[in-house]
Structure 1
């Protein structure tokens, strides 16, 4: 099988066997890569330091029938905040899991790769909870899984003021478009719509202060998690990590 080399972000690490790991990577050129790192858990392994969550690495792999095999890996960038701050680590794991679920194997993912580099670096200077929420909404946008926040999914008219939101239909619904049989619509107040708009437009290189009420924050998280559950058919595993905070 052929060898190849690429820059990659480490998005997942799972112990396998007595001394090995299964690594999930995201590459600009090859998209999602799942590979085995043999002997990686041994203290003297040259792979041990590089193949840690959130690291950016220069990696050489061999193609396999089911899993590729890591041959060499050298560090390009270590995110210190993500390895020392428990809160940043937990919310970063949520972003990494979402990216892993949406990325495609064998398909270039340059936009997602560059976005994650910005996001992971921003965890050092931003509230991790807000950073993860903004990252998730933005990743959905350029992954083609975006929701309709500003226009009614039933009439295509612009939303003004308070409205409702349908996870199943993927967007906002004007009050006058609500039907008697609608039973699973969530409230979608104007403040929530404005907040989501701010998250979508967030420039990760700037550091503006966010002012948002706790209730709107919870509503935004509920909307996002409801959509992800509807899309994947199961809750995100990383939520258990966040619930420990």
Structure 2
């Protein structure tokens, strides 16, 4: 079997069998990788220390017919805030799970990989709830499933003021098209989409992870932007993210 070596971020871990794990990695050259780490849950395993959630590692992987196998792993960087702070851990898990769902296997993901490095680095300096929201909106931009925020998905008119949002269209609707859709499908056919929410999302998309944010947001606008994101993610993934339960548990 062929072997390859790649730098990667660990974005998912699942216990498997009595002493093994399935590791989900994001590689800049190979995209999403799922590989078995045999024996890594044993205390004396050479893999145990480095194969931890959120770590940046260099791995040697052997390709398999059904599942690749991690042969060796060296730690490049540990983003420790997400291992010691429960809020950062919970929201970081949401970001990692979102990246795992969006990334493609055997397809280069250099942009997503680089952005995720910036996001993990910034988690210790930012409000984790806002950081996770900005991260998910930005990661969508690298996925091919990004949403349209400034132009109507029906008539392509530039949006002004309030309108609506349709998950099945992956984009915003102007006031007229939102009204038509509500009359056709009822209130559940379109989500409310205010001008304030649109401006906030655009700020999140432009957020510079290397500097402090220069904006403030009301609780109502924050909740509305979260509802829009989570509704769209559930629409494209067809099920809720498991990490949301972790976030609910920490309150």
Task: Note if 1:5 corresponds to 2:5.
Answer: yes
- With structure 1 as the length reference, what TM-score do the two structures score? 0.98
Structure 1 236/54 Cα, relative in aligned 2: closer, same or farther at 3 Å? same
Which position in structure 1 is the counterpart of 2:185?
A: 182
Count how many residue pairs are aligned between Structure 1 and Structure 2. 245
Aligned to 1:191: 196
Distance in 1 of aligned mates of 2:153 and 2:159: 10
Q: Which residue does the alignment assign to 1:127?
A: 127
User: For residues 149 and 163 of structure 2, what CA distance do their matches in structure 1 show?
Assistant: 10
For normalisation by structure 2, the TM-score amounts to 0.95
Cα distance in 1 for residues equivalent to 2:79 and 2:192: 38
Report the counterpart of residue 73 of structure 1 in structure 2. 73
Moved over 4 A (4+): none
Q: Tell me how far 1:210 sits from its aligned partner.
A: 3.6
Structure 1 residue aligned with 2:238:
233
Q: What do the CA deviations read for 1:211-236 (whole angstroms, capped 9, x no partner)? A: 11111111001000111111111111
CA distance in 1, matches of 2:54, 2:239: 24
* 1:110 is aligned to 2:95: no
Measure how far apart 1:208 and its partner are.
2.0
2:202 pairs with 1:202: no
Is 1:157 aligned with 2:157?
A: yes
What's the secondary structure of 1:64's corresponding residue? coil
Post-superposition offset of 1:102:
1.1
Asked whether 1:28 is paired with 2:31, we answer no
5+ residue gaps, structure 1, are: none
1:8 is paired with a residue whose SS is strand
Q: Secondary structure at the match of 2:141?
A: helix
Question: Any idea what the Cα deviations from partners look like across 1:3-22, whole Å, max 9, x if unmatched?
Answer: 11110110111111111111
CA RMSD of aligned residues (A): 0.9
Structure 2 Cα separation of the partners of residues 23 and 46 of structure 1: 15
Task: Please identify, of 88-97 and 173-182, the stretch whose mean Cα deviation from structure 2 is larger.
Answer: 173-182
Residue in structure 1 matched with residue 216 of structure 2 by the alignment: 211
Distance 1:62 1:142 in 2: 28
Distance 1:101 1:164 in 2: 26
Q: Which runs of 5+ in 2 are unaligned?
A: none
1:153, distance to aligned residue in structure 2 (A):
0.8
Task: Tell me, in whole angstroms, the C-alpha distance in 2 between the residues paired with 1:148 and 1:29.
Answer: 28
Whole-Å separation in 1 of the counterparts to 2:120 and 2:46? 24
Shift of the alpha carbon at 1:175? 1.3
Matched residues in 1 for 2:193 and 2:104: separation? Answer: 32
Specify which structure has the higher proportion of helix: 2
Whole-angstrom CA distance in 1 between matches of 2:165 and 2:30? 36
Q: Which residue of 1 is the match for residue 62 of structure 2?
A: 62
CA distance, structure 2, for counterparts of residue 208 and residue 219 of structure 1: 19
Q: Tell me, what secondary structure is at the counterpart of 1:243? A: helix
**Post-superposition shift, 1:58?**
0.9
